[in-house]
Chains A and B, each alone.
Chain A
């Protein structure tokens, strides 16, 4: 059986997945910190982190490219705060035939909506960013936080979703130059465009058509890139880490995750269960006559906490069984929010014991 330490030492890409609010960003940053402490050159890509954690990672810099965080580790630690819009713009500039085509796309209203409106675009840009960081070869380990999604797997489907969008049959009909699209398009496409014009106004339809026309010739570049990203995500170099909390929802997520990740040929690396209550041992019986007073309250508190801790442990075992043989790391509920390097090193100690002093 592997351990989280093996993953941090030997993998090139770790993708942290999980629902919103479970502490994905914290775990991602802590894993990168573990890697740096084990002597590797690490970069963590975060998406919309809480403000104070963002401040700690960026040290005031505004960045869509790696920023180095200095510290007492033998490797190196960098952080990127993903800006999906800027990443997408760069991608367009890379694949455009010339500057004119790039400018036409960047100025188009439909393009400007793409980042926020097309579901999965943010996820896609996160995969794009991690691919770029991995490909450039400056880092041994890239850890990526994923956008909050109920479904931890949206991330995996993201590259194909966007290429599917650009590859659409309807879109190909729209790519016919000028008014010719109306003649050449199928009955379906015509009905669709007429309805769209009637419902939302002709300008929107024109904008959409201009957008797809502007993209002409670039689909292949996007498709190749998405293919390369998918290959990296399914390769031995990449592991997925499911982050959850000791709640029923996490069991559902883990079950879903384990099934689909395996089906898709990717590797479940580990499960991190965050916000566990501390293990306080067995409950202490209180005789009937002793329900009042300070001692009863103190014992009652111990018993409440042990009851939950035991239920949590049962749940974690259930999740662990579903994702076995992947290892499980337990991170306790800490006394305060994690928003600085000190807090991250605290979490890191539970992920890879001994890595961070």
Chain B
């Protein structure tokens, strides 16, 4: 599949996955890939710890107002912003006649009362805001770094739930529009991110089926993050390999090379079996991202992942 076409499949791409699988990193890599194709991208997060700007080499956390994260060659741009439920709720109430007291709403804790009385209102308002950005043509692609899986499911199902609760009024209308947006594959798709380990794979399969059944949202390819590149000679005897290469090495080196090979080999087996299981249990295409041999993720690592993503997308039917 060609990369620009892939990036333009839907106006909104929601990236979801279990905590710790690298969902935020995958979202940032997708944003960079799309911008390199000349697209205007807005990357939104529900709350930012600074991880997104750091990936782009910036150090200021994202704010409610957009800021530029990257301007790669090709004419595209990545801008980032947060979309906190509280800010969306204040904005919404402000638009509906509570402008003057909306600050007090936050201070007095009335927001919690509203959110409790009307389940799903936070989620609907965040998605409603996203829909507003989409309809206003803010960007070619809107990427949302969604909350971790358990929450992501609730995040996407609660608009439907709200339809049951609110029988009329502007909020119901808002929920109806959000539900329609989620069900339209041209407007919105969900990409699940996972890693090749048992629990994340289980959660991904379960989430995918529930999202299709309960939300009717279209699912893009699954991104399998953190895959070790496969090596061929891990089972070779290190001493014979050294001899074959004509090098003389100490016993300690042979031992350590062997330990490292055994470790990698175990990870590789776990990875292969989980990738097979994912392919068997979930009929969605997969894009594999490599394990980045680094403990700190920054622009260099993001670049590696973006390149892998491009290769992976290119390999899709």
Contacts and interface: CB of A to CB of B under 8 A. Distances in A.
Contacts of A52: 198-199
Nearest to A116: B119
Contact of B232 (A199, A297, A333): A297
Interface in B115-174: 115-122, 148, 150, 154, 165-172
A294 B238 CA distance: 8
Contacts of A98: none
A59 interface: no
A165 B109 contact: yes
Interface stretch (A34-42, A78-86, A298-306): A298-306
A298 B261 contact: yes
A331 to B, nearest CB: 15
Contacts of A148: 19, 148, 150
Contact of A48 (B110, B114, B150): B150
Interface string A144-186: 0000101000000000000011001111000000000000000
Given A110-B116, A295-B242, A252 B261 contact: no
Interface stretch (A16-24, A65-73, A222-230, A349-357): A16-24
Contact of A21 (B19, B232, B236, B296): B19
Contacts of B117: 110, 113, 196, 200, 204-205, 207-208, 211
A329 interface: no
A280 B256 contact: yes
Contacts of B231: 297, 301
Nearest to A50: B199
A22 to B, nearest CB: 6
Given A200-B169, A308-B294, A117 B264 contact: no
B295 A170 contact: no
Contacts of A50: 199, 202
Given A51-B202, A284-B253, A294 B236 contact: yes
Interface stretch (B6-14, B48-56, B66-74, B183-191): B48-56
B116 A249 contact: no
Contact of A20 (B20, B197, B295): B20
Contacts of B172: 200-201
Contacts of A248: 54, 295-297
Contacts of A62: none
A294 B171 CA distance: 64
Interface stretch (A5-13, A129-137, A263-271, A334-342): A334-342
Contacts of A294: 232-233, 236, 241, 244-245
Interface in B230-284: 231-234, 236, 238, 241-242, 244-245, 247, 249, 252-253, 256-257, 259-261, 263-264, 266-267, 270
Nearest to A282: B256
Interface in A61-117: 109-110, 113-114, 116-117
Nearest to B117: A208
A307 interface: yes
B interface: dominant SS: helix
Interface residues of B, number: 74
B134 to A, nearest CB: 22
Given A118-B115, A169-B108, A252-B49, A199 B244 contact: no
Given A118-B112, A208-B113, A298 B150 contact: no
Contacts of B168: 201
For the complex of A and B, the 9 pairs showing the least CB-CB separation, nearest first, are A21-B20, A20-B19, A21-B19, A295-B245, A294-B233, A302-B260, A208-B117, A335-B266, A311-B295
Interface of A: 19-22, 48, 50-52, 109-110, 113-114, 116-119, 148, 150, 164-165, 168-171, 188, 191-192, 195-196, 198-201, 203-205, 207-208, 211, 245-249, 252, 277-278, 280-281, 284, 290, 293-299, 301-302, 304-308, 311-312, 314-315, 333, 335-337, 339
25 contacts: A20-B20, A22-B19, A22-B20, A116-B119, A165-B109, A165-B113, A169-B108, A170-B108, A199-B170, A201-B168, A201-B171, A201-B172, A207-B117, A208-B117, A249-B49, A280-B260, A294-B236, A295-B244, A298-B241, A299-B257, A301-B264, A302-B261, A314-B295, A315-B295, A337-B197
Interface of B: 18-21, 47, 49-51, 54, 93, 96-98, 101, 104-105, 108-110, 112-122, 148, 150, 154, 165-172, 197-199, 202, 231-234, 236, 238, 241-242, 244-245, 247, 249, 252-253, 256-257, 259-261, 263-264, 266-267, 270, 293-297
